[in-house]
Amino acid sequence: MPRLEGFVDFDPEKEIPSLDGRVVFITGGTAGLGRESVGLLAQHDPSHIYFTGRDVKAAESLIAEVKEKKPAVGLTFVALDMTSLASVKAAVAANFSHDRLDLLMCNAGVMALPAGLSKDGFEIQFAINHLAHAMIIQQLLPMLDRTAEQPDSDVRVVCLTSTGWRGHPRQGIEFDKVRTTQEGLAGSWVRYGQSKLANVIYASELARRHPHILSVSLHPGVIKTGLVSSLPVAKRKFVEWSIKVTGDAFTSPDKGAYNQIWAATYKRSDMSNGSFYMPIGVLSDKMFDKAAKSEELAKKLWEWTDEVLAEY
């Protein structure tokens, strides 16, 4: 069983092993937890880090920052629009050029957005948080599989979700409504919960279908990033109220990235494939409800997602 104690004071300088020769791909790498993750992992000598985003200037400043400390680490910025599946697919195909991939960290995300549709006509949070990442996973899965076949490989997919997944619709995912704005009472949080539940069960299904790849989902904590600070006042107050109720607390972005860094680097044999982790390194599948536990729902999501992605 994974150790459930001892990681509150996780120190990446001491805990992260050498990443020599490893190739990493991180979504949402130009800001917040993604940027912190790029910086932290780069200090342990991976061969190359790909990171996605939209802000070219932020990407350039990150590359300069990393190169100043670790000039030998290769870095590639992958500019893409996660509201467009065609953009995501094209960007990955055009930019990824290595013959191995050891770590895919699905970090990018949005929260409590107003009702709206993506460029492809899907509910905007579901499109960004789930579908865009599913496209990236599917595009890179053949490389992940090939790398996992190599001796002494340790291939991982780390999917950031949120305890907000518990706010999902009653049936889990409303497949018949995800091509609508899904407006309603507390709609933005329910839509967010639906997308975050998708992150949880898609990671679990990936683990079942590709058990040689370690696939986990995790809650990073409540982090002081633009994801919260950019919310309207009422929604920001709701977040502040909810963390008081749960006994949680705001965490700075540097320490907020620790759970995903832990999941990306901790001893594989002490981790549970397909599981969900709370900060830091706490196996938390026991908090799952019926929808999060449902292999039938996860299978349906995987197959439905495959059909959608095939359109692009």
Note the pLDDT tens digit of each residue in 151-202: 999 999 999 999 999 999 999 999 999 999 999 866 999 999 999 999 999 9
Please give the Cα distance from 63 to 112 (Å, whole number). Answer: 30
Please give the Cα distance from 235 to 253 (Å, whole number). Answer: 20
Token pair of 234, please? 């009422």
Q: Are strands 214-218 and 276-278 parallel, antiparallel or unpaired?
A: parallel
Res 183: pLDDT? 92
Token pair of 89, please? 């697919």
Q: What is the largest CA-CA distance in the chain?
A: 52
| Angle value at C-alpha 219, between 244 and 304, nearest 5 degrees | 125
Res 227: pLDDT? 57
The CATH number of 12-223+254-307, from 3.30.450.40, 3.40.980.10, 3.40.50.720, 3.50.50.60, is 3.40.50.720
8 A C-beta contact, residue 129 and residue 112: no
For residue 174, with 0-12 CB atoms within 10 Å meaning exposed, 13-18 middle and 19 or more buried, which class applies? middle
Please give the Cα distance from 166 to 190 (Å, whole number). Answer: 9
8 A C-beta contact, residue 33 and residue 160: yes
Angle of helix 133-148 relative to helix 295-309, nearest 10 degrees, comes to 100
Cis check: omega of the bond before 26, within 30 degrees of 0: no
pLDDT in tens, the chain (312 residues): 333 344 456 788 888 999 999 999 999 999 999 999 999 999 999 999 999 999 999 999 999 999 999 999 999 999 999 999 999 999 999 999 999 999 999 999 999 999 999 999 999 999 999 999 999 999 999 999 999 999 999 999 999 999 999 999 999 999 999 999 999 866 999 999 999 999 999 999 999 999 999 999 999 987 655 555 555 665 455 554 455 444 454 466 668 899 999 999 999 999 999 999 999 999 999 999 999 999 999 999 999 999 999 999
Res 222: pLDDT? 76
Nearest C-alpha neighbor of 12 from the set 51, 43, 49, 56? 43
Res 251: pLDDT? 62
Strand partners, 131: none
Res 304: pLDDT? 98
Domains of the chain, by residue range, sit at 12-223+254-307
Strand partners, 127: none
Residue 10 main-chain phi, psi, to 5 deg = -50, 125
CA distances to 82, 130, 217, 308 from 298, in Å: 22, 13, 14, 15
Neighbouring CB atoms inside 10 A of 238's CB total 16
